[in-house]
Amino acid sequence: MSGRPLAAALAEYLAVRRSLGFKLARDGLLLEQFVSFCEQAGACRVTSELALAWVSAPAKASPGWLAMRLTIVRGFASWLQASDPATEVPPLGWLPPRRRTAPYLYSAGDVAALMAAARRVRWPLSAATYETLIALLAVTGMRIGEAIRLDRSDLSPGEGLLTIAGSKSGTSRQLLLHPSTISALGCYLRRRGELSPVPGEPALFVHPAGNRLNYPAVQQMFRVLLGRAGIRARSERCRPTIHGLRHSFAVSTLIRWYREGADVQARLPQLSTWLGHADPKWTYAYLWASPELLALAAERLEPPPRTRS
């Protein structure tokens, strides 16, 4: 690959990874910026100096954002190095170690407060949309990106199924919903039909203008709802986010299984499939999120008390 234009190498790298199911929308844009940066510097191959200069270019960037940029470049550079040994992979140790953030776990009361805040939103269609969206995220643990990509045709009320197509891992899955969830979605669709200026829009969740919800708008509204619901950060490293609803679902499910005396190890692949994790190891990551969950897991590891003969 020596002497090959970086732009052509990047196109092949993205094509290969996308053929394996990775979407790489953000990664692709950032790597295009990185390759352009290298080309403007007159470089025909990746060097650590160039990579670190590009990674650190954004002013006032958070450590997390810098770490993400470095990870993306390292992946591309490692792939290039297999064909061009002169390629340099920037070192991981260049950035200070990241402090692990603690996921914000919402209580049932928190979710109810968020839904109540959504009901008070000024625009009736937004009120109905965000109340239903928050409830769906809380009871299914689905990703926000999956929820805003849902079409009305993905819901099969008669079968009680919700189809999630094109998830983060590139696969599709079906969720068997509780009858109360199906009923709530049906109520929302009827309300949406009364209020939406674009009744033919295929999206399940829509803005007041009738078009599909988008991530920036949802993030902005969720911050507003957090404030109105009185939900605040518990610490510098534990701040409420919309993704916390997914963490909360996973943790509450695991806690319920432990309390029921279920074989959690045997059931964990079921939760992984439900959440859309490509590997159960990502589901294991939820175990550290709650002291209660850690305590329940530790109890399983303790030997049973000895009985006197």
Which tokens is 283 given?
């589901």
Name the catalytic one among 69, 104, 130, 143: 143
- To 10 degrees, the CA torsion angle through 218, 223, 229, 231? 130
Q: State the catalytic residue, choosing from 223, 246, 267, 284.
A: 246
Nearest Cα neighbor of 21 from 170, 164, 172 is: 170
Cα(148)–Cα(214) distance, rounded to whole angstroms? 7
Out of 168, 173, 212, 228, the active site residue is 168
Task: Convert 146-157 to b/e letters by CB count within 10 Å (16 or more is b).
Answer: bbbbbeeebbee
Assess whether 246 carries a catalytic annotation.
yes
Of 45, 69, 192, 277, which is the active-site residue?
277
H/E stretch holding 98: none
Q: Which helix (H) or strand (E) holds 160?
A: none
- Catalytic (active site) residue 286: yes
Residue 281 annotated in active site: no
**Which residues pair with residue 161 across a beta bridge?**
156, 176
Residue 17 gets which letter from DSSP? H
Which of these is catalytic: 173, 212, 243, 258?
243
Known catalytic residue at 178: no
CA atoms of 144 and 242, how far apart (whole Å): 8
**Consecutive H or E run containing 223:** helix 215-229
Name the one residue in this structure whose structure tokens are 């309390």. 259
Catalytic residue positions, numbered: 143, 168, 243, 246, 277, 286
